[in-house]
Chain A
Amino acid sequence: MGIEVIVEGLTKSFGKQTVWQDVTLTLPPGEVSVMLGPSGTGKTVFLKSVIGLLKPERGRVLVNGVDMVNGPERDIYQTRKLFGLMFQDGALFGSMNLFDNIAFPLREHTRKKESEIRRIVMERMDMVGLVGSEGKLPGEISGGMRKRAGLARALVLDPQIILCDEPDSGLDPVRTSYISQLLIDLNAQIDATMLIVTHNLDIAATVPDNMGMLFRRELVAFGPRELLLTSDVPVVRQFLSGRREGPIGMAEEKDEATLALEQLTDGATVPLAPPAVAPQLEPSPGMPPRQAVQRRKARVLAMWDQLPAAARTAVQAGLAPVQGEPA
């Protein structure tokens, strides 16, 4: 089963500029979570802070009892072996071919025989659809292939926590759906805790169990997917509908004057109807059922009282077909 990641009061700034402050959330074990946010709100910085590459000024990130922010260096290195991180552009080693890139963690951390390494690497390359390219150098392949190779490399050590930095950027819509399905299948197979950072609405609507959103240097919300998908918080609603009307502007955010002007001119903007919640992706046929589903159901029902009505309806709608009876 995956490992719980607890983030407490995390604050990160570069010089005088605060990226985000006081971010507190818990990634439930084995579940898929998505962190949304407009470009430039520090989603990648958040990901790198979780794994201890960047050191926030305040707060802590607990993984298996190890503080990834201020813990001892040795413990952090040990704990990182539980992680698989897929970088935005793959971050492959330019001097090695794809096979050696993907085999790198195995060769560094295990004493497996070369034949065994070959078997595992080919299995992972098959998973991401890269068979036949193992001899190519990262410079010779497309950005999408680099991304998939980066994912394969993140997967070879059977990580218990998988972090994906914008798995969709640079991929066409079809490949994006394949990646979405791949992530869900992975979760069904190895039951790893997953955190996906993205601003792709399709992924946001269909992949995660939980969603969070960063905006204006804060975590606007974090909770079950239904909570955000039915949310009437203006910024969440604007982001998930991809419209111009709302607090998010072309620059990172609109200032008060622009907002006021907008209110004035579009005073009569019809409020959006609550969006329909798309069903979550199921693992492909032949895959084991996701164990996280049952755990999540128990968790969501336990917090039933705190959910707003719209979210409850969506949760019920989501549970009904699987469960056979309303929750």
Chain B
Amino acid sequence: MSAPVRVREPGPRRAIPGTGALRQTGQLMTLAATTVRDTFRRPFQMRELIEQFWFVASVTILPAALVSIPFGAVIALQVGSLTQQLGAQSFTGGASVLAVIQQASPLIVALLIAGAGGSAICADLGSRKIREELDAMEVMGVSPVQRLIVPRVLATMLVALLLNGLVSVVGTAGGYFFNVIVQHGTPGAYLSSFSSLAQLPDLYISEIKAVVFGFIAGIVAAYRGLHPKGGPKGVGDAVNQSVVITFLLLFVVNVVLTAIYLQLVPQKGA
């Protein structure tokens, strides 16, 4: 009974400023890795996935469509007036569709998923955590990551992927409507400029971005939900933080993805 006991000296707390942030980042990454790993572990929680998918979709579809119409319109109006000043009106369609598909659509989708779906996921997990439900689950030998978080993250990714298609279509249609009806652009020029500036990889990067953003939104919501500080107030704070952190991450990751895409894929007409 005298096996060596691992002794870990409790180090001084808060030794170096900034280590707290590093630790949080590390835990977030660990959760992301665990989630990816547990995705391939049986049994797969199909039922939970469908329920979560339906939930996230139902809270995001309508707002996403409603947001994307004016957004497409704003871009069409802005680009339209700019191209008018430059005398390149025939490219209005191509330019606005690029802006909508590559940038606006994945971001709108991600913001809505983080704001509507992610906050609900975070609040749900957080309240389960403080009611000890997650502990109870672990005690019964069921991993909360595999049972609850994997289906939620997959649901946010899937919804992001599909919703991105919807938002792209609605945004483009809105742009078309405003350009043709309000700005009196020519329908033919608007449509034909699509193929002169836009290309299929633009759609691919749009969907890739949407899936990555969906993943980030899901993981951040789950991470904050799993670590609420204290009681019910802590859950509220966690929800707040999860939305803010997701937004920050989204815009940074968007810059990185866009830069990589523009470097890797030759742009049409360049």
A interface residues (Cβ-Cβ under 8 A, vs B): 6, 8-9, 13, 15-16, 48, 51, 53, 57-60, 70, 77-78, 80-81, 83, 85, 87, 89, 91-94, 104-105, 108-109, 150, 153, 157
Whether B139 and A8, one on each chain, are in contact in the complex, defined by CB atoms closer than 8 angstroms, is no
Whether A78 and B141, one on each chain, are in contact in the complex, defined by CB atoms closer than 8 angstroms, is yes
- Please pick, from B132, B140, B143, the residue contacting A104 in the complex, using a CB distance under 8 A: B140
Q: A83 vs B135: C-alpha distance in the bound complex, in angstroms?
A: 13
Whether B140 and A53, one on each chain, are in contact in the complex, defined by CB atoms closer than 8 angstroms, is no
Whether A58 and B131, one on each chain, are in contact in the complex, defined by CB atoms closer than 8 angstroms, is no
**Across the two chains, which residue of chain A brings its CB closest to B139?**
A85
Q: A189 vs B268: C-alpha distance in the bound complex, in angstroms?
A: 77
The count of residues in chain B whose C-beta lies closer than 8 Å to any C-beta of chain A is 20
**Across the two chains, which residue of chain B brings its CB closest to A81?**
B141
- The 8 A CB mask of B2-32 against A (1 = contact, 0 = none) is 0001111010010000000000000000000
Whether B7 and A83, one on each chain, are in contact in the complex, defined by CB atoms closer than 8 angstroms, is no
Whether A108 and B135, one on each chain, are in contact in the complex, defined by CB atoms closer than 8 angstroms, is no
Q: A153 vs B6: C-alpha distance in the bound complex, in angstroms?
A: 35
**SS class of chain A's interface: helix, strand, loop or mixed?**
mixed
**Across the two chains, which residue of chain B brings its CB closest to A8?**
B5
Show 20 residue pairs from A and B whose CB-CB distance is below 8 angstroms, ordered by the A residue: A13-B10, A15-B13, A16-B13, A53-B135, A53-B139, A58-B6, A58-B8, A60-B6, A70-B6, A78-B141, A81-B140, A85-B139, A89-B132, A91-B131, A91-B132, A91-B136, A93-B136, A94-B133, A109-B142, A157-B140
Q: A83 vs B7: C-alpha distance in the bound complex, in angstroms?
A: 27
B-chain residues with CB within 8 Å of residue A59 when the two chains form the complex: 5
Whether A87 and B136, one on each chain, are in contact in the complex, defined by CB atoms closer than 8 angstroms, is yes
Whether B138 and A87, one on each chain, are in contact in the complex, defined by CB atoms closer than 8 angstroms, is no
B-chain residues with CB within 8 Å of residue A51 when the two chains form the complex: 139
Q: A98 vs B81: C-alpha distance in the bound complex, in angstroms?
A: 63
Which positions 53-92 of chain B face chain A at CB distance < 8 Å? none
**Across the two chains, which residue of chain B brings its CB closest to A51?**
B139
B-chain residues with CB within 8 Å of residue A92 when the two chains form the complex: 133, 136
B-chain residues with CB within 8 Å of residue A109 when the two chains form the complex: 140-142
